[in-house]
Structure formats: structure tokens, C-alpha cells
Amino acid sequence: MKKRRPIIGITMGDPGGIGPEILVSALTDPSIYKICQPLVLGDINIITKALKLKKSSLKLNIIDSPEKGLYVHGLTDIIPLSELTDDSAAPGMPTAETGKAMLVYITKAVDLAMENKIKAIATCPITKTALKMAGSRFHGHTELIASRTGTEKYAMMLAGERLKVVLVTIHIPVSEISRQLTIEKVLNTIKITDDSLKRRFGVNKPLIAVAGLNPHAGEDSMFGTEEEEIITPAVKLAKEKGIKVSGPSPPDTLFFHAASGKYDAVVCMYHDQGLIPFKMLHFKDGVNTTLGLPVIRTSVDHGTAYDIAWKGTADHTSLVEAIKLAAHQAAQ
């Protein structure tokens, strides 16, 4: 059984955020160990502190490589990569030290995945502020992992049981969206979505919907020309490549049909267009997964939640679902 379960590397995330406590809570769930072999990449002092906070009976198995893990429920296998103190990792306080530690956890996980020593990565939340303080040029996990793996074409998917959305543009001002949309970007996102649904989600013939940018999807260019000039040509090119895709469709009705099961995924033009309907349905159990990478990466669908960090009240549902999705993708 041990050999059949994929090893999933779980990065601890921001030591000052809710990552350590939701990680400890998630690993108390015995169902995790039935589908995978979870391996923590993080800080031994912080995890020990989280165990005390949660009054957890979990024991630690300190190892230096994935193959040395025991992977049994009740015993948490961990590769310690930092030894932070209370001064450098206070709750809700980003520091250069915590930023550097986060970078180490992530890069180690990516390297292990590229070496095929682990089968997938599930990440706890990090903060861009600490990354910046540590001197990183990356805004978050996605850009960092893409750079580490040499990936140029990738996309962010938010995945839940009822709805999956993929973003053409991600963290940019609303005023920049129209200027950054191109036929190539929309087409690449459709292609990555189609390929990932087949290879990572086991959907043999995925049906993808594409959202318009403007009200009523432009309505014959009365409310904007992006549909006619950019999105429709991209959809046409995707169809010519044999992809089952429709659109651009009016966003105000599209998500209802997608959530009802008509489509396998929706390609969205910008961040909030996809995330608002998604989080209405999957606020607690949503998962962020990066498509197009040579490694499998899933993540919680929330941030570090500094306002409740280290109070023992954070919900770990999203992390459990992220680990399960990582294991599911690894099994495809």
C-alpha cells in the first residue's frame, strides 16, 4: 500500500500565518493517509508550536529525504528546512526571515518534484510582503514555481466539485485588463485548460466555456470590442484545433450553467470575474491549482489570514481538499 500512495510534499507556508495550524489540523484526518503519503516541508520549531496550539497528539518523524518517511497516520513526516525563533516568526508579522524560509520550502518542494522524489506539491498560504522583504522578485507561488521549472505558459485554476474557473489574466489592475488581453493569451489559456482537464482531471472530452469581458459579451460590440477582436478569434482557433469550446458568453448567465454541470471549466478574462462566483460556491473547500507546469501543484484557496493566525480557529478544509486533489492528479 505504501508504494501505491503518491508522496505529496506539503509546504508549511508563512510561519506567521494560519499555514502551520491548518497543516497540523489537516494531518489529523485519517482519510489523507488512505490516498497519499504526506510529507511536510517546513520549520520544526513552528510545527511543534502549532501542535501545542492545537493540543494535537501527532508525533513528528524528522527525516532528510522523502524515501525515509514512514507515512502512517498519527506520525507526521517532516523535512525541517529552517529553525525560526519567536522573535523572527511572530504571529501576523511578515519578516525577511520568514520570507526567506518560505522560499526555501517552496524551492525544495519543486526540486524534489522535478527529481520525481515526490509526486505532487500542496502549498499552504504565503504573503507577498514577506517575499518582497526577503528580496524575491516573485509575487507568489505561481510565478516562482513557473520560473523554477522553466515554464512560460501556465494558468491558474480554481477547482471545486461544482465549478472550475481558469484565468487569462491574474493579479493586475482592472484598468490594465483590456490592454493585456490578446488572442494568443486567450487561446493559450483554452489549450492549457483542455490539456489539463484531460491529463490531470481524467476528463476525456472536456467542454470548456469562455466568458466575455463586457456586459452581455459586448452585444455586437455595443458595449466593447474585445469579444469581436480578441476573444471570438481565439475561440475559433481553439475549435480548429479540435477543442470543444464555446463562447464568448455573457458572464452573468454563464456561471449558472457551469455550476449546473453544463461545462467542465470556464475560462475567465480576469481575477474577480472568476473568483467571485467560485467563492460563492466553494468558499471553504475551493482549491487553487496551477495548470501547465511539469509538476503537480495545488494550494489552499485563501491567504495567510493574519487576523486569526495562531488563535486555533482557522478552517483547514481547503488544505484537505488541496492535498486530495494533488493525490488525485498524481494518480492520473
Say what the pLDDT of residue 138 is: 84
Say what the pLDDT of residue 2 is: 45
What is residue 25's three-state secondary structure? helix
Cell 494558468 maps to which residue? 155
What is the pTM assigned to this prediction?
Answer: 0.91
Distances from the Cα of 49 to the Cα of 25, 55, 319, angstroms = 13, 10, 19
Going by C-alpha positions, the residue among 7, 84, 16 that lies closest to residue 39 is 7
Cell of 222: 455595443
- In whole angstroms, give the CA distance from residue 298 to residue 161: 15
Per-residue pLDDT of the chain (332 residues; tens, 9 = 90+): 345 799 999 999 999 999 999 999 999 999 999 999 999 999 999 999 999 999 999 999 999 999 999 999 999 999 999 999 888 888 999 999 999 999 999 999 999 999 999 999 999 999 989 999 999 988 788 889 999 999 999 999 999 999 999 999 988 999 999 999 999 999 999 999 999 999 999 999 999 999 999 999 888 888 889 999 999 999 999 999 999 999 999 999 999 999 999 999 999 999 999 999 999 999 999 999 999 999 999 999 999 999 999 999 999 999 999 999 999 999 88
123 within 8 A of 302, measured Cβ to Cβ: no
Distances from the Cα of 32 to the Cα of 28, 46, 294, angstroms = 8, 22, 24
Distances from the Cα of 290 to the Cα of 107, 170, 198, 293, angstroms = 15, 12, 15, 7
Say what the pLDDT of residue 3 is: 52
100 within 8 A of 63, measured Cβ to Cβ: no
Q: What is the sign of the dihedral through the CA atoms of 135, 14, 33 and 146?
A: negative
218 within 8 A of 274, measured Cβ to Cβ: no
Cell 501547465 maps to which residue? 292
Distances from the Cα of 127 to the Cα of 17, 99, 100, 140, angstroms = 8, 8, 12, 8
- In whole angstroms, give the CA distance from residue 92 to residue 77: 26
290 within 8 A of 144, measured Cβ to Cβ: no
Say what the pLDDT of residue 1 is: 39
Fill in the DSSP letter of residue 103: H
Angle at 143 between CA 142 and CA 144, to 5 degrees: 95
